Amino acid sequence: MTESKESGAAIAVQLKDVNKWYGDFHVLRDVNLVVGRGEKVVICGPSGSGKSTSIRCINRLEEHQEGSIVVDGIEVNSDIRQIEAVRRRVGMVFQNFNLFPHLTVLDNLTLGPMLAQSVPQGEAQDRAMELLRRVRIPEQAKKYPGQLSGGQQQRVAIARSLMLQPHVMLFDEPTSALDPEMIHEVLDVMTELADAGMTMICVTHEMNFARKVADLVVFMDGGEIVEAAPPEQFFEAPSNERTRLFLSQILH
């Protein structure tokens, strides 16, 4: 079993010397990251730093040009079978929910398992209701996304990602589109997921969440990982001047 030197845990995700360009723009520069199974990693940084691109490369929503990405022992490359195998293991929650507006909450959750895993409808519905209870909105099952608040829609999106029973969850700024009063209801669900042992990589500016949940906080700037440290060290004694400047701008 492959192990992470940092944690002693089996490796869930590894990025090694990953580079990506958009035309002439070098968006990721020699990115290296090891995430052990069960670890929670928070990635932060200014806009355009490459943080969202990094996690989108993990499930091949973006293509990296150099280096290697391995998820659960499977290399992410151009082979469609490899991509499909990785996506069966990786759930992703986006900034803007991405729910099907013409389907009920229950149908949004059951569609994926029924199509991708041939799960019988009754079993899929049972699993969906269990997850809606877990994210505390079982009473919304028959409603459509447009009838829900932003926070409720994002909790539906989290439940939908969990329907395929992923090994790793990726969150791409999951609270940035929410009104302030709705942010905590989503972060509470994410905290419960973390406490239950889910491997998580989360791009966010919610630094209180990072302090509370993360095993590792990663700061990116200019397409590079500038600093990566446990929360106590990251917030109390950052080693890089760029990290200190960033924290001074976002911590109140």
Only one residue has tokens 């991405």, namely 98
How do strand 168-172 and strand 74-75 relate by DSSP bridges? unpaired
| Amino acid 2: pLDDT | 37
Question: Mind listing the pLDDT tens digit for each residue in 111-154?
Answer: 999 998 899 999 999 999 999 999 999 999 999 999 999 999 99
Does 4 have pLDDT greater than 60?
no
Does 1 have pLDDT greater than 60?
no
How many of the other CB atoms lie within 10 Å of CB of 23? 6
CATH of 11-100+166-250, one of 3.30.930.10, 3.90.1150.10, 3.30.1360.120, 3.40.50.300: 3.40.50.300
Does 13 have pLDDT greater than 70?
yes
What are the residue ranges spanned by the domains of the chain?
11-100+166-250
Average pLDDT of the chain, as a whole number? 94
| Amino acid 3: pLDDT | 41
Which of these, 46, 45, 43, lies nearest to 56 by C-alpha position?
43
Only one residue has tokens 């994210």, namely 135
| Amino acid 116: pLDDT | 86
Question: Mind listing the pLDDT tens digit for each residue in 202-228?
Answer: 999 999 999 999 999 999 999 999 999
Q: How far is CA 170 from CA 20, 93, 162, 174, in A?
A: 19, 6, 11, 10
Does 109 have pLDDT greater than 50?
yes
Only one residue has tokens 């269990």, namely 130
Mean pLDDT in residue range 93-121: 95
| Token pair for 133 | 């209870």
> What totals of helices (H) and strands (E) does the chain contain, helices first?
9, 10
Does 8 have pLDDT greater than 70?
no
Do 250 and 206 form a contact (C-beta atoms < 8 A)? no
Mean pLDDT in residue range 45-50: 95
Does 41 have pLDDT greater than 90?
yes
Does 76 have pLDDT greater than 90?
yes
| Amino acid 252: pLDDT | 63
| Amino acid 9: pLDDT | 64
Q: Which residues contact 118 (CB under 8 A, 6 or more apart)?
A: none
